[in-house]
Amino acid sequence: MNKSNVIVRIKGGLGNQMFQYAFGRKIAYQTNKKLFIDISFYKNCINRKFELDNFCTIGSIAEDIDTYRLQLKGVFPRLLPSFTYRLKNILKRRHVLFWEEKENCPDHILHRWQKDIYLDGYWQGTSYFKSIEHLLRKEFQLAQPLTSESQEIKDKILSLPCPVSIHIRRGDYAKNANILSVHGLCSIDYYMNAIRLVQEHSSKTTFFLFSDDPGWVDKFIKPKIPNSINVSALYANRPNYEDMLLMSYCKHHIIANSTFSWWGAWLSSPSVNKLTIAPKRWFATQNPIDISSLIPNHWVII
């Protein structure tokens, strides 16, 4: 690894990975440094996998971050749960700028910093990458052609006057009690209210349903929506990241409380007539959490 780089820690599912990459890409572009991607999170992760390599992203993989983490090899078992704190101190002694999401890094420090910068956070929201949106729209295209099944869906979407994507996220949200207690699930009422808004806004709508629980969607959602296609049920054996790109080809979007469909909507071609609807409750906490920084101003929150 060269002497002056930006290293961004990648963690979580694809939507989170894209936010993290976007911020790392912005900082590398802004400071004229090379971008490295730390994917060590996935070495012992069972439920998630690194998926950015399916896109035209430019960051080099740094699995061991040039010994940043390997330095801790002998003492690693004793570090948890204070791993981040200890790592931060070690990197600081090496004159590496360790930047966590909760901290602010003034531009004058960022631009004068001659050594490496290590980023650790989720960095969710367009404010973290607005200046390089044009680059991200190119780099978040697939590195390989769509599968034949997804190409068929894309052709269908593009042939229609008003295709609308609907993302119903259940999967781990519904099956894992701990995750459910944090994120919660979007209600059927949310989807029906969002559909009414779209229908008031546009005519000749066709709804494309994307879900990690297509059986549930077939039973509880699809019968309520005339002129709808349950993509995930009809075309099951496809990479899930292709669904994100298929969502982006739609004209309007109804997203779940999920960064996956957030990116599906954001990657859609910008248009003054585009309607994107997002849920007001992104988390299942009793006191509502402010999501204004996550949801673009022109999206509708219900």
- The predicted-structure confidence for 51-90, as pLDDT tens digits, reads as follows 999 999 988 887 555 445 434 333 333 444 455 666 666 6
- The predicted-structure confidence for 220-250, as pLDDT tens digits, reads as follows 999 999 999 999 999 888 999 999 999 999 9
- The predicted-structure confidence for 97-133, as pLDDT tens digits, reads as follows 778 776 666 665 677 777 888 999 999 999 999 999 9
- The predicted-structure confidence for 179-195, as pLDDT tens digits, reads as follows 666 668 999 999 999 99
Res 292: pLDDT: 85
* CA–CA dist 4, 186 (Å, integer): 44
Of 76, 108, 139, the last residue of a domain is 139
- The total domain count for the chain is 2
Res 285: pLDDT: 72
- The predicted-structure confidence for 249-291, as pLDDT tens digits, reads as follows 999 999 999 999 999 999 999 888 999 999 998 887 766 677 8
Res 73: pLDDT: 38
Res 59: pLDDT: 85
Domain range for 286 is 148-301
For tokens 């929506």, the residue is 225
Regarding whether 120 and 180 lie in a shared domain, the answer is no
Res 174: pLDDT: 56
- The predicted-structure confidence for 171-181, as pLDDT tens digits, reads as follows 766 566 666 66
Regarding whether 40 and 101 lie in a shared domain, the answer is yes
What is the average pLDDT across 154-169? 98
Of 139, 159, 191, the last residue of a domain is 139
Of 108, 139, 170, the last residue of a domain is 139
Answer whether residue 214 shows pLDDT above 70: yes
Residue 45 Cα to chain centre, angstroms: 18
**Average pLDDT of the chain?**
86
Predicted TM-score of the model (pTM): 0.88
Regarding whether 259 and 129 lie in a shared domain, the answer is no
